[in-house]
């Protein structure tokens, strides 16, 4: 006979009852835009926004960020370009989701 037991509430091995909090959409946006911006900057070519997992609006942010990052890379080097990518991705995505999220169509 197989007997199993569960830890009682509050026991040393009891699992946490707190659920993980969801990552805000502006944070997810900034992460993915920054990731793909670095890829585009390093490889020199753009991919399809859908294959990157971006919406059309996020892709617009990426293109603007990459344009500025390319100029920064020429002037100040890759490190400055990566810092710019992080900053502008956060700012662009924060502005995009400031009012609770895009709602002007399925790809915005």
pLDDT tens per residue across span 45-90: 888 899 999 999 999 999 999 999 999 999 999 999 999 999 999 9
- CB-CB contact of 29 with 94 (8 Å): no
66, 70, 75, 78: CA torsion to nearest 10: 80
Would you give the distance in Å from CA 55 to the centre of its chain?
Answer: 12
Q: Using CA atoms, how far apart are residues 57 and 43, in angstroms rounded to an integer?
A: 22
Q: Using CA atoms, how far apart are residues 70 and 62, in angstroms rounded to an integer?
A: 12
pLDDT of 74:
97
- CB-CB contact of 32 with 58 (8 Å): yes
Average pLDDT over residues 86-99: 94
Q: How confident is the model at residue 107 (pLDDT cuts 50, 70, 90)?
A: very low
Would you give the distance in Å from CA 77 to the centre of its chain?
Answer: 23
pLDDT of 37:
97
**pTM over cut 0.85:** no
The CA-CA-CA angle for residues 99, 103, 104, to 5°, reads 125
């Amino acid at each position: 006979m197989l007997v199993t037991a569960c830890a009682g509430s509050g026991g040393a091995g009891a699992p946490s009852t707190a659920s993980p909090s969801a990552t805000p959409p502006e944070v997810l946006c900034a992460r993915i835009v920054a990731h793909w911006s670095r890829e585009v900057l390093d490889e020199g070519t753009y991919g399809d926004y859908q294959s990157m997992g971006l919406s059309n609006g996020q892709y617009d942010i990426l293109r603007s960020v990459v344009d500025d990052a390319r100029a920064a890379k020429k002037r100040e080097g890759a490190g400055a370009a990566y810092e710019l990518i992080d900053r502008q991705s956060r700012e662009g995505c924060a502005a995009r989701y400031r009012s609770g999220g895009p709602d002007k169509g399925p790809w915005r």
